[in-house]
Amino acid sequence: MVDLELDQGLAVITIDRPHARNAIAPATMELLDDALDRAAGAAALVIRGAGDRAFVSGGDLKELAALRTEDEAAAMAWRMRRICDRLAGFPGPVIAALNGHALGGGAEVAVAADIRIAADDIRIGFTQAKLAIMPAWGGAERLAALVGRGRALLLAGTGTVLGAAEAERAGLVDRVLPREAFEEGWRSIARSLATRPAREIKRVMADGVSADEAVTAFARLWVADEHWAAADRQLNKAANHAG
């Protein structure tokens, strides 16, 4: 099951397969595509797993074991890679809320997001090498962009699993929160990103965006009613403190 929650510009996709620790099966891919279709237009997107044991534990080996030819394996890889590309290309900020372990393909889903927020007791690792395979969903390339080519090759090539604090130090995780504050914490951050101009900021961070486009985006926000209302609140607050 894949659930979609829409709340005032924030879309939250939850992979809910407790019997398989939220592993990705072919049917899950179809449901993820559908959830992304329905999330279109949201200002920010969160992807998470249900429960507190697993974010995504990888591909569902029981179901994917039926793939026995190169063509079948390639078709599956392309299908999930396109879903991860959709996550990465979502116009607004994408947050992976790592409620539990993110292993193998789960780590690939996590690095497709712009931001990774983790509970302090989770573990994350590109463990495909332990199955004598490699990341297939774009995770190797995205990992290299995050932590550097050498460190990425070391992590993915050995299948090393990192704790949350170590992953944060490596640049693989952006924020670590105590387990007891995790749910409230990631929701607060996600709502803030959904209600502020993070979508425009993400757009101008993309490769190939010119300085002219960035300045035009700023000017458009400057003349908007939301800017003047926020500026008035700041000026009134300053005046009250001065008085």
pLDDT tens track for 18-72: 999 999 999 999 999 999 999 999 999 999 999 999 999 999 999 999 999 999 9
Domain contains 201: no
Run of H or E including 19: none
Same domain, 228 and 113: no
CATH number of the domain where residue 13 is located: 3.90.226.10
Is 70 exceeded by the pLDDT of residue 243? no
Domain contains 184: yes
**Beta strands per DSSP E along 64-109:** 94-98, 101-103
Q: What is the dihedral of CA 76, 78, 82, 83, to 10 degrees?
A: 20
Same domain, 10 and 112: yes
Report the number of distinct structural domains present in the chain: 2
Same domain, 111 and 222: no
What's residue 240's pLDDT? 75
Q: What is the dihedral of CA 62, 66, 69, 70, to 10 degrees?
A: -40
Terminal alpha carbon distance of the chain:
56
List CB contacts of 191: < 8 A, sequence separation 6 or more. Answer: 8, 10
What's residue 190's pLDDT? 98
Domain contains 29: yes
Are the beta carbons of 156 and 134 closer than 8 angstroms?
yes
Same domain, 124 and 227: no
Over residues 111-166, the pLDDT tens digits come to 999 999 999 999 999 999 999 999 999 999 999 999 999 999 999 999 999 999 99
Domain contains 199: no
List CB contacts of 138: < 8 A, sequence separation 6 or more. Answer: 81, 84, 85, 88, 108, 112
Same domain, 115 and 148: yes
Over residues 77-112, the pLDDT tens digits come to 999 999 999 999 999 999 999 999 999 999 999 999
Same domain, 82 and 184: yes
Q: Which domain holds residue 115?
A: 2-194
Kind of pairing between the strands at 2-7 and 10-15: antiparallel
Domain contains 204: no
Confidence at 237, pLDDT banded by 50, 70, 90: confident
Rg of the chain over Cα atoms, rounded to whole angstroms, equals 19
Are the beta carbons of 60 and 25 closer than 8 angstroms?
yes
Same domain, 14 and 129: yes
- Does the model's pTM come out above 0.75? yes
